[in-house]
Chain A
Amino acid sequence: MNFDFSDEQKQMRDEARKFLAEKCPPKAVRTVLDGNASYDKDLWQGLAEMGFLGVAIPEEFGGAGAGHLELCVIAEEMGRALAPVPFSSTVYLAAEAILIAGSAAQKKKWLPAIASGSAIGTLALFEGKGNPSPEAIKLAAAGGTLNGVKKPVPDGAIADFAIVAARTGSTGRDSDISLFLVDMKAGGVEAKALTSLDPSRGQAELTFKNCKAEPLGAAGEGWSVLSQVLDRAAVLMAFEQVGGADRALEMGRDYALDRIAFGRPIGSFQAVKHMLADMYVSATLARSNCYYGAWALSTNASELPEAAAAARISATQAFQHCAKNNIQVHGGMGFTWEFDCHMYYRRANATALGLGSLSYWEDALIDRMRKRNAA
């Protein structure tokens, strides 16, 4: 058994961490957070040059062709650094959807553009409240044009193209849903940036009015593709969350060692020590669930749906837990704008929602476990 990343993968992690420490310090995150930029363009280009955007994209489409384990490693570092770039929407959602369902021409057009950093993509799935479900998709597709509204769409205001989930039937079955690819520059779609919990990552409302769109994958197979995309993204996002959780824990630990109160470092008080130990526990459980998800993702195992849900739930809980208690360890300082704690708290709570909320994945996990038990 080797239930760990390889030395080469660990080396890639070190490289990514070093790169992000230099190019993406908290100050860079703040530039986007404070509204001075919609995303960090220099960082985005730097990530492209390092080969990180196309790490799981095959070489024939301009990627590094390394694989999904390598992408997991990079994802963790992106989460750790709170990278204010459209990485998850472009790489986990849009690129994966094209890899799964795209035509040869679509792959040839968009995947190299993603790998080189020249195209930002997103997935337009949600229409207001609620979790992913075929019933919630009302946006209509007819005669190759889309009409309707999507929100929230991650990075929707800066995207060059969007994968759009649309209704193409009225049978009440999953097969009513199809996917479309929309070139955002081609007209027919209007993007409006929305205020969100975590301004270091943009959210938008997209309004489609007789918008020309090309099908992505076969008609009626949209929901099946979406399920696969969401499972894959769940594992990758879980690595981001674990990266964030680990960093929040580290920040809390460091502060507890440095800050003196009642004549002692506050980290010597059991109440504080034990809070940090519990943060370590939740981050460790999440990391282990993520490793299982990474294995399932990289081998495309039949266990992937269950592993993805477990990784997602565990990592969501861990990041939220570590981010909130990091503020608690910091006391009043933790609640200031000046300290970085709130950036992790924002990201933890925003990423908890982006692929469907915790309750959605809890349901999914139990359904999948029942299915396995029945089999």
Chain B
Amino acid sequence: MNFDDTPQEAAFRAEAKAWIAANAPKQYEEELRKSSLGRTQLKGANILEVAKVWQKKKADSGWACLHWPKEYGGRGASPIERVIWQQEEGPFGKLSGMFIIGHGMCGPTMMAFAGEDQKRKYLPPLASGEKIWCQLFSEPAGGSDVAGLRTRAEKKGDDWIINGQKIWTSGAHYSDYGILLTRTDPNVAKHKGLTMFFLDMKSPGVEVKPIKQANGASDFNEVYFTDVRIPDSQRLGAVNDGWNVSLTTLMNERMSIGAGVSTGFPELFEFCNGLMLDDGPAIEDRNVRSKLANWAVKASGLKYTSMRAISALSKGERPGPENSIGKLVAGSMIQDVAAYALDLQGAAGVLSGPEDAEATGKFQAMLLRAPGTRVEGGTDEIMRNIIAERVLGLPGDIRVDKDVPFNKIPTKGRG
């Protein structure tokens, strides 16, 4: 049992470290380091532009999408090398937020299902950050139940005509392309009538409407499709096999381990360590210490769980469904941590302006962003189902609509 790199890993780490030291946008390092959930801002700079410049620089030197094949803009690196890169990239990795969906999900789906010419055309600019992709899956009637989606695709000659609405689409407002899951046959059971496409987000008939979120930011969108044409050549996988294609997309999400999930704990510990309460330093208060200790062992437990997964990667094993634990634990933890930090501030905890709030309003921002973490990429409930079913082997949920044609499934709860 040790924390040492193998000689090859050490050499790779040294190379990565040296390149980052020479090339990273150091002027933003401190701000990025201090940014926490709900707050990644760069004063006086457009974060999208800074991120694109950093990504392009990485791509030009062979440090973008490390695990992708070289011919598609990657490096052909091993999973463990990808983890080492993430560790070394540190706070600069926070600049990759807008690329995550494209790199982690759309790219691998294209790799698995697009034609060779398409892969060579579309993947390198995706890897280099010149083009941004989004994933058009969720709908008002299909969130956790993705297969319940209603956006229609109808064949007309060599094209497909798309009508319907997507929602919760991260980054659609600045995306160039998207992968789109549609319904092509409503007369069969819901999983059996879906088809996947990719499309240019500037296509006529695509309308993107940013959604103002509970925290006031607008990272997500509604996307409307009115008679949007997609050539059949941009279909991914067979007609009506979209469910299997989407599973490939979702499976790839799981490979993203190593950078460490945000729990809010380091921020809270630092805050408590400096805070004075009416009757003395917060860190010496019995209740504060108990709360901190409970969160400390969750944070360290997650850290060492991911190290165990990295060890498995290092030995060539693939990460399994047990990695759902990170988001499940961190999501509700960060919410509780933020609420507790506010509680410690008493009445003043209500203030969120950077001038008036303690810790420049970091915890207030965290509190308002945290509910999203518990929903995006699978709700806490879905994460628990994954653990219960795929790790513990418990029976799947009963699905009363499983064998019912999609157009016979009730659409209203009451009445």
Binding site for B on A (CB under 8 A): 1-6, 69, 249, 253, 256-257, 264-265, 267-268, 270, 273-274, 276-278, 280-281, 284-286, 288-289, 291-292, 294-295, 298, 309-310, 313-314, 317, 359, 361-363, 365-366, 369-370, 373
**Alpha-carbon distance between A291 and B304 when the two chains are bound, in angstroms:** 8
Q: Contact flags (1/0) for B48-91 with A, using CB distance below 8 Å?
A: 00000000000000000000000000000000000000000000
**Alpha-carbon distance between A312 and B3 when the two chains are bound, in angstroms:** 21
**Alpha-carbon distance between A278 and B307 when the two chains are bound, in angstroms:** 21
Binding site for A on B (CB under 8 A): 1-5, 9, 269, 273, 283, 286, 289-290, 292-294, 296-298, 300-305, 307-308, 310-312, 314-315, 322, 325, 328-329, 381, 383-385, 387-389, 391-398
Q: Are A366 and B395 in contact (CB under 8 A)?
A: no
**Alpha-carbon distance between A135 and B296 when the two chains are bound, in angstroms:** 28
Chain A nearest CB from B81 CB (Å) reads 13
Among A6, A264, A270, A317, point to the contact of B385 (Cβ < 8 A).
A270
Among B296, B314, B381, point to the contact of A2 (Cβ < 8 A).
B314
**Alpha-carbon distance between A309 and B297 when the two chains are bound, in angstroms:** 9
Known: A310-B297, A365-B296. A285 touches B397 (CB 8 A): no
Known: A270-B381, A288-B304. A295 touches B2 (CB 8 A): yes
Q: Are A285 and B301 in contact (CB under 8 A)?
A: yes
Known: A1-B4, A1-B307, A281-B387. A369 touches B269 (CB 8 A): yes
Residues of A within 8 A of B303 (CB): 288
Among A256, A268, A289, A366, point to the contact of B301 (Cβ < 8 A).
A289
Residues of B within 8 A of A294 (CB): 1
Among B273, B301, B329, B396, point to the contact of A370 (Cβ < 8 A).
B273
Chain A nearest CB from B191 CB (Å) reads 19
Q: Are A362 and B314 in contact (CB under 8 A)?
A: no
Residues of A within 8 A of B381 (CB): 270, 274
Q: Are A362 and B1 in contact (CB under 8 A)?
A: no
Among B5, B296, B329, point to the contact of A1 (Cβ < 8 A).
B5
Residues of A within 8 A of B289 (CB): 362-363, 366
Q: Are A273 and B293 in contact (CB under 8 A)?
A: no
Residues of B within 8 A of A281 (CB): 325, 328-329, 387
Write the chain A residue with the least CB distance to B380: A274
Residues of B within 8 A of A298 (CB): 1
Q: Are A268 and B2 in contact (CB under 8 A)?
A: no
Q: Are A370 and B297 in contact (CB under 8 A)?
A: no
Chain A nearest CB from B6 CB (Å) reads 8
Known: A273-B384, A362-B290. A292 touches B311 (CB 8 A): no
Residues of B within 8 A of A276 (CB): 388, 392, 394
Q: Are B304 and A289 in contact (CB under 8 A)?
A: yes
**Alpha-carbon distance between A309 and B329 when the two chains are bound, in angstroms:** 20
Write the chain A residue with the least CB distance to B306: A288
**Alpha-carbon distance between A125 and B193 when the two chains are bound, in angstroms:** 69
Q: Are A264 and B283 in contact (CB under 8 A)?
A: no
**Alpha-carbon distance between A3 and B4 when the two chains are bound, in angstroms:** 9
Write the chain A residue with the least CB distance to B396: A268
Q: Are B301 and A288 in contact (CB under 8 A)?
A: yes
Write the chain B residue with the least CB distance to A364: B293
Q: Are A284 and B293 in contact (CB under 8 A)?
A: no
**Alpha-carbon distance between A265 and B307 when the two chains are bound, in angstroms:** 35
Known: A1-B5, A1-B307. A265 touches B395 (CB 8 A): yes
Residues of B within 8 A of A285 (CB): 297-298, 301-302, 305, 325, 329
Q: Are A288 and B305 in contact (CB under 8 A)?
A: yes
Among B273, B311, B325, B394, point to the contact of A373 (Cβ < 8 A).
B273
Residues of B within 8 A of A291 (CB): 1, 304, 308
Q: Are A3 and B384 in contact (CB under 8 A)?
A: no
Known: A1-B310, A281-B325. A270 touches B304 (CB 8 A): no
30 A/B residue pairs, CB under 8 Å, sorted by A: A1-B2, A1-B4, A1-B9, A1-B314, A2-B1, A3-B2, A6-B1, A249-B392, A257-B393, A267-B388, A268-B396, A268-B397, A277-B384, A284-B322, A288-B305, A288-B308, A289-B297, A289-B304, A291-B304, A291-B308, A295-B2, A295-B3, A310-B296, A310-B300, A314-B297, A362-B294, A363-B289, A366-B292, A369-B296, A370-B273
Q: Are B297 and A1 in contact (CB under 8 A)?
A: no
List of 7 A-B pairs having minimum Cβ-Cβ separation, nearest first: A285-B301, A362-B293, A288-B304, A273-B388, A268-B395, A277-B384, A277-B387
Chain B nearest CB from A129 CB (Å) reads 17
Q: Are B395 and A267 in contact (CB under 8 A)?
A: yes
**Alpha-carbon distance between A119 and B290 when the two chains are bound, in angstroms:** 39
**Alpha-carbon distance between A276 and B314 when the two chains are bound, in angstroms:** 30
Q: Are A274 and B388 in contact (CB under 8 A)?
A: yes
Chain A nearest CB from B335 CB (Å) reads 16
Counting chain A CB atoms within 10 Å of each CB, which of B273, B286, B302, B305 scores highest?
A: B305
Write the chain A residue with the least CB distance to B309: A3
Among A1, A278, A310, A313, point to the contact of B384 (Cβ < 8 A).
A278
Chain B nearest CB from A322 CB (Å) reads 12
Residues of B within 8 A of A265 (CB): 394-395
